[in-house]
Structure 1
Amino acid sequence: MLKPVARTAALTVSTALAGVAFTACGAPSAQDDGKLQVVAAFYPLQYAAERIAGDQADVTNLTQPGMEPHDLQLSFDQVARVSDADLVLFERHFQTAVDKAVDDNRQGPSVDAAHVVGLEHLADEPGEEENHTGHEHGEEDPHFWQDPIRLATFGDAVAKELGTIDPDHAADYSANAAKLRTDLRALDTEYADTLSGCRRDTTVVNHDAFGYLGKYGVQIRSIAGLSPDAEPTAHDLATLHKVIAEDGITTVFSETLVSPKTAEALAHELGIRTAVLDPLEGLSTAAEDNGGDYLSVMRQNLALLKKANGC
């Protein structure tokens, strides 16, 4: 899925200094294939960029398939790409390493998804303890792409920026963004129609990457909070036991890219099923190998939610 990128940046290591410096030579758009160079921090941003840029740009994803994006550490070459690209797409407060690379090295245009999509304010789940809800994302939920309409809004911002950089193809970018919005509106309608009138509206997941599904009436209860590697407290687990029993929940969802052990242990204790939702923070290697993309994975998630919630 990812396209190879020919770079003109040269990375120079200075042994006379205690740090590492890089220098980039030549304009980033002066590639062998003559295409714009776009850097996306993680998968949903890459998907939108590829749909909108079409054949006019090479899109590089800093988070490789199968990698958990929260854990991303940038190589020297990746930092150089952030510095030199024609356009950088990222989400502030989601990946610390990318924020730092943009702040320290980026002078060209960028689109910060957190600035354009209208993130939702985080609301603590009932019964959560303070040490469990602490996280590095600030006070807003970063997982906006679970709402297809917000991803369409991000796509519109990308199209506008690409049109400014490359006015000769501005009409193409706008047309592609309109097509993307049409597809995402259809997906939004599928979610709304499928998840209306379910027997259950509470869904237990490993980490709280699905809060934006609340627009469809889905109430998310997470085991580990916003950070996928966080450990739940005894109070958290006791609260979940009660919720699962009272609401007749049939399934505990683990997810791609992180260990399912905690979700599986909780489900085993209560004698209910487990299944795997994909938060789409990064594309799994299995999804990439099978030709999956944002739309197909979101529809797979919808089918699993429909079954689990009795819709």
Structure 2
Amino acid sequence: MNVRRLIPAAALSSAVVLGLTACSGSSTAGSKDGKLDVVASFYPMQYLAEQIGGSHVAVSNLTKPGVEPHDLELSPKQTASLGEADVIVYLKGIQPAVDKAIDQSGVKHTVDAASLTKLEDHGTETGPGHEGHAHEGDSEAGADPHIWLDPVKYAEVAKGVGKTLEQADPDHAADYKKNTDTVVKNLGALNDKFTAGLKNTATKTFITTHSAFGYLAERYGLTQEGIAGIDPEAEPSPARIKELQSLAKKDHVNTVFFETLASDKTAKTLAKDTGLKTDVLDPLEGITKKSKGADYLAVQEANLAALQKALGAK
């Protein structure tokens, strides 16, 4: 698997969308402007809430741009606001502080993204030197939470989010359903692009600091090799460096990937020691000015282009 700060089990829980209402205790659109208040725990859930909710929702993200979602701690104000939510959509296990606050919120309409698709354990796929990733507090040990990086699984989550919005705001159910269908269609097209773009490559192996791409690798027949375990900023051991040097030579790997929300120090260290190039493979846990795109679809297409280049796509 591949998740940051996970204890074998966790991270799927990281895909999470939260809906909040400015009107305490309201179960239908209760904000002052008549919109359903929705709060996302982190970007992948924010994207779905905005795309599916459209003009009928007001979306807030608990994780500010540039903040590593796994490290999020809620302010007293954020915690209190959760109790006023209309809907909460989140990914259990990725952000323990969020999970706890949601359990105590008493909000009727909540949806856990991890419950909307099948979680898998990718912890054994990263090779020796990897303990696997699991977020603290995860109920499924060994479960990889990064489901949103697989367009097919993300589409399954989208359907669940759409149904939750329909239940919370039945007056606009038809619009939520229509928007959900559009999101699912777009994700289907993205899946087709990945399938075709990665069908014929010189190598199937890629190296990354953050082992977040287990679902993506499995979907498209690739092999992900993480550098130093659950923490993308951890220093790889000499043994792991030697192992990756051999692997890079054997599997014709020429690139080490790092991400936008963490230091590139580890990737550059390995690249220098092995004579490889570096590039960005974005786990899409947040959108910043450094992101190679303004939204989920754009960044995923940038990820596809980076993989095609690194893997020698034909």
Shorter-chain TM-score bucket reads: 0.7 to 0.9
Tell me which residue corresponds to 1:55.
55
**Aligned counterpart, 1:19:** none
| Superposed structure 1 runs of 4+ greater than 6 Å apart | none
2:219 to 198, 215, 218: 215
1:294 paired residue number? 296
Deviations 1:240-267 (A, max 9, x none): 1211121121110111100000100100
| Paired residue type of 1:106 | G
**Alignment match of 2:186 (pick from 171, 183, 187):** 183
Distance 1:211 1:94 in 2: 16
Q: Write the letter of the residue equivalent to 2:198.
A: L
Distance 1:72 1:8 in 2: 22
Q: 1:308 — aligned with what?
A: 310
Which secondary structure state, in structure 2, belongs to the residue aligned with residue 31 of structure 1? coil
Corresponding position: 1:196 with 2:195:
no
TM-score scaled by structure 2? 0.86
Cα distance 1:6–1:187, how it changes in 2: closer, same or farther (>3 A)?
A: closer
Report the Cα distance in structure 2 between the residues aligned to 1:127 and 1:212, rounded to whole angstroms.
16
Q: In 2, are the aligned partners of 1:67 and 1:257 still within 8 Å (CA)?
A: yes
What is the deviation of 1:207?
A: 1.1
Distance verdict in 2 for CA 1:248–1:8, change over 3 Å: closer
Aligned to 1:172: 175
1:127 and 1:155 mapped to 2: Cα distance?
32
Corresponding residue for residue 107 of structure 1: 107
One-letter amino acid of the counterpart of residue 215, structure 1? R
Q: Which residue of structure 2 lines up, in the alignment, with residue 249 of structure 1? A: 253
**2:237 aligned with 1:238, yes or no?**
no
Are residues 41 and 240 of structure 1, via their aligned partners in 2, closer, same or farther at CA, if it must alter by over 3 Å?
same
**CA apart distance, 1:208:** 0.5
Which deviations, in whole Å up to 9, do the C-alpha atoms of 1:48-90 show, x marking residues without a partner?
A: 1111000000111111111111111111121122221111111
1:145-175 residue CA offsets vs partner (Å, 9 max, x unmatched): 1111111111111111111111111111011
Partner of residue 45, structure 2 = 45
How big is the alpha-carbon RMSD for the aligned residues of Structure 1 and Structure 2?
Answer: 2.1
Instruction: Look up the match of 2:13.
Output: none
CA deviations 1:173-194 (Å, max 9, x no partner) are 0110001011000000000000
* Structure 1 residue 226: Cα displacement: 3.5
> Higher relative contact order at CA 8 Å, sep ≥6: structure 1 or structure 2?
2
* Residue number in structure 2 paired with 1:271: 275
Shift of 1:239: 1.7
Deviation, 1:40, is: 1.1
Correspondence 1:119-158 to 2 at 5 A: 119-125=119-125, 127-129=127-129, 132-133=131-132, 135-136=134-135, 138-158=141-161
Instruction: Give the letter for the 2:230 counterpart.
Output: L
Tell whether 2:228 aligns with 1:228: no
Q: Distance between the aligned counterparts of 1:6 and 1:163, measured in 2?
A: 15
Aligned to 1:17: none
Distance 1:55 1:291, change over 3 A: farther
Aligned equivalents of 2:234 and 2:109: distance in 1?
Answer: 34
1:195–1:8 Cα change, 3 Å: closer
Cα 1:99–1:34, aligned 2, differ >3 Å: closer, same or farther? Answer: same
